[in-house]
Amino acid sequence: MHLSASRTIDYLNYITILLLVFGSTISCSNSELNNKMGELSQTADDIQIVWDYTTLTRIYGDTQSFYPRMISPTGGDLFTIFESEGAILLTRSTDHGTTWLQPETLVPPNGNVQATVPDIIELQNGDLLLAYNTRPPQDNDNEQLLFGIKTIKSLDGGDTWSDPVTVYEGGFEWTRGVWEPFMMQHDDEILLFFANEHPYSESHDQEISLVRSSDNGESWSSPVRISYREGFRDGMPVPLILQGSGKVAIAIEDNGMQSSEFKPAIISFPSVDHLGDTYIEGHSTQRWRALSEGDQLEVHEYGGAPYLVQLPSGETVLSFQTTRDRGGGWAQSTMAVAIGDQNAQNFSKVTEPFSVDASKSALWNSLFVKNDSTITALTSTNAYSDDGLREIYSIDGHVLRNGKVP
């Protein structure tokens, strides 16, 4: 195996982590290597994520697959949901993600209308709620085949699922679509965010919209606008209620910050109660570039499809797909992960969880906080397939403080 210079450093970092995590002692005749490992340990930042290549796992890869999301229902197995060939699939792991069962189809295609980009949460009463996007064919001219957001529910831990509930419907054309639902629960209310271009029949603009349910997803409110930059396309929202402050941070992709290329951004509200009172415009102080000043992407570099989580210790972690240092268009992106503060600002210490050649890609990624010291990255990638098949992969990262696991 041939390693680039940057990948060699990554492996050196990983060797160091093995020493720190397991307390191992390795005798090495190469004093230069020993010195390098010592330097890495001594100069470690207060917090960093080092990806454990021994945990690289193929979750599924029998058919072209996209958009993985992971959840751990209370007292249950790990679930990964994803889309494949116009259907929503779910697979389970009973051994903390080491192996995965053959997936089951939760939502099949409805004729020519595909079921795509799923999201899943566990409700406070223990029910599981799954949201997904309906998409007609790209050249669709049938006005009965609509973009939409739908949900299904399981009352028995994922064994059986309800019929779909329609949350919102968009248009039949690909310029009037609704996209990428994401849910969270606050008290007794479910909040569902999505990217929405349906209101903009005379332009290619897109906003972030919010709908609410106060009856565990049986019915939904009309949408309200959360963010909108006139002339551009706010997209792919991932909301998070921040620990301690109760502020709401929402990661989005924003193509109006620098030239017309998407960059990861954060929009913020003082609390859940303020969602919908007004919307965040392009030049609002409640909107900022996610990455720190020293980690900004170049003007021509793409950074989209963000995902946002928070560690139990308070730091936020952001992933995005990017062409940084890769060349090519967005379809050659790989997954990048950065660490931010408790206010979802100043994301830095950017790492790449997966080793992806520049001719390949790792797209539509997500993060899952497995425990206090472990974060899991998920991707749909063709990097490890001999025939170019896009497969679902995961890898665990060790969260270190001053070079040690908390």
Residue 319 lies in a domain: no
Q: Name the burial class of residue 180, with classes exposed (0-12), middle (13-18) and buried (19+) by CB atoms within 10 angstroms of its CB.
A: buried
Q: Note the pLDDT of residue 335.
A: 98
The first and second tokens of residue 133, run together, are 């996007």
Q: How far apart are the first and last CA of the chain?
A: 33
Strand partners of residue 404: 401
Alpha carbons 24 and 111: distance in angstroms, whole number:
56
Q: Distance between CA atoms of 164 and 147, rounded to whole angstroms? A: 14
* Token pair recorded at residue 256: 């109006």
Inter-residue contact 331 to 385 (CB < 8 Å): no
Q: Give the neighbor-by-neighbor strand order of the sheet with 235-241.
A: 235-241, 248-254, 263-269, 287-289
**Which tokens go with 77?**
């197995």
Query: How many CB atoms are closer than 10 A to CB 253?
Result: 26
Residue 140 lies in a domain: yes
Q: How many CB atoms lie within 10 A of CB 1?
A: 4
CB 279 within 8 A of CB 234: no
Domain membership flag for residue 53: no
Contact 48/69 with Cβ under 8 angstroms? no
User: Residue 177's closest CA among 223, 120, 111, 133?
Assistant: 133
Q: What is the pLDDT of residue 252?
A: 98
Residue 36 is predicted with a pLDDT of 31
Q: Is residue 179, in this structure, part of any structural domain at all?
A: yes
pLDDT in tens, 76-135: 899 999 999 999 999 999 999 999 999 999 999 999 999 999 999 999 999 999 999 999
- Which pLDDT value is given to residue 402? 83
Q: Domain for residue 197, yes or no?
A: yes
Mean pLDDT, the chain cut into blocks of 10 residues (406 residues total): 39 46 36 32 65 98 97 92 98 96 97 97 97 97 97 96 98 97 97 98 96 97 98 98 97 92 97 96 97 95 98 97 93 97 97 96 97 96 95 97 78
Sign of the four-CA dihedral 32, 38, 43, 46: positive
Residue pair 51/395 in contact by the 8 Å Cβ criterion: yes
Which residue segment(s) compose the domain that 190 sits in?
Answer: 109-222
Q: For position 20, what pLDDT does the model report?
A: 42
> How much is the pLDDT for 26?
30
pTM: 0.89
DSSP state of 332: G
pLDDT given at position 45: 53
Give the number of residues written for the chain: 406
Are 152 and 106 in contact, with CB atoms under 8 Å apart? yes
Amino acid identity of residue 82, one-letter, is F
| Residue type at 250 in one-letter notation | I
Query: Residue 47 phi/psi, 5° resolution?
Result: -140, 140
Q: Is residue 58 part of a domain?
A: no
Q: Which residues contact 326 (CB under 8 A, 6 or more apart)?
A: 332, 333, 334, 358
Work out the angle between the directed axes of helices 5-22 and 31-42 (0-180°, nearest 10): 70
pLDDT at site 76: 82
- Count other Cβ atoms within 10 Å, centred on residue 372: 12
Tell me how many domains the chain contains. Answer: 1
Report the DSSP beta bridge partners of residue 239: 250
Name the residue with tokens 């109760």: 246
Look up tokens 């309800």; give the residue. Answer: 162
In a domain, 3, yes or no: no
The answer to whether residue 22 sits within a structural domain is no
d(CA 156, CA 85): 26
Indicate which CATH number applies to the domain containing 175: 2.115.10.20
